[in-house]
Amino acid sequence: MKTNKLLVATLVALVSIGSYAQTVDEIVDKHVAAIGGMDKLKGVNNLVIERTLSVQNMEIPSKTTVIVGKAMRSESSIMGNSMVQVVDGTTGWMIRPAMMGGTGDPEDMPAEMVKQQLGQLDPFGPLVNYKEKGNKVELVGKEKVEKDDAYHLKVTTKDGQTMDEYIDAKTYMLTKLKTTIQGQEGEITFSDYKDFEGIKIANTMDMTSQMGSITMITNKVTVNAKVDDSVFKKPTK
């Protein structure tokens, strides 16, 4: 009798685990379809994204060039001073003005900072092809984000970084992300998605952390632009 009960309990557990995994995959599949579909995303080699950052009553223009899975260059102008951050493979370099603690000359990016920036090489997020990337996704449950239902997914990347993603239960768009931003716990909300050449990208992103808040507005996105690889190479002084 005890054996039968144990067998039933085991079967129930196996069914539950199978349903759970299927639910995660269903959410992820619908999310991928919502942002453009796997075929469209696989056809993207690079993105050039132009945004405006609003922080401390300043409007800061920025331009980010991403070679998917390979390299990223972000450049912005702050009060007439240029700031550049580049990740190329597993190394990085940056240019910081004096007001940001730099010298205005190219310098190597600290290893921990490179690690934090590597996620930008994956512009569509860790959910897309998560199994192939070696990421793990756990469905925590359904929660409210503002007034809307959202699926709370806990993501652990291959290199051990964790984040909480909230996928809208109706649109299947990413609506909120909780992660570590420059060593601080932070939160990003995504809204006003727009279509850029068949790919949905949030027009507005609001970042909050102990350091303050930043609003980013997406002005222009170019898919598969002509990009000169030399922009990722660290210049000599």
**pLDDT per position as a tens digit, 65-83:** 999 999 999 999 888 888 9
Give the span between the Cα atoms of 218 and 61, in whole angstroms.
Answer: 10
Give the span between the Cα atoms of 79 and 56, in whole angstroms.
Answer: 12
The DSSP string of 34-95 is HTT-HHHHHT--EEEEEEEEEETTEEEEEEEEEETTTEEEEEEEETTEEEEEEEETTEEEEE
Domains of the chain with CATH codes: 2-232 (2.50.20.10)
**pLDDT per position as a tens digit, 27-37:** 999 999 999 99
> 199 near 40, Cβ under 8 Å?
yes
- Give the amino acid at 151: Y
**pLDDT per position as a tens digit, 152-205:** 999 999 988 899 999 999 999 999 999 876 667 889 999 999 999 999 999 999
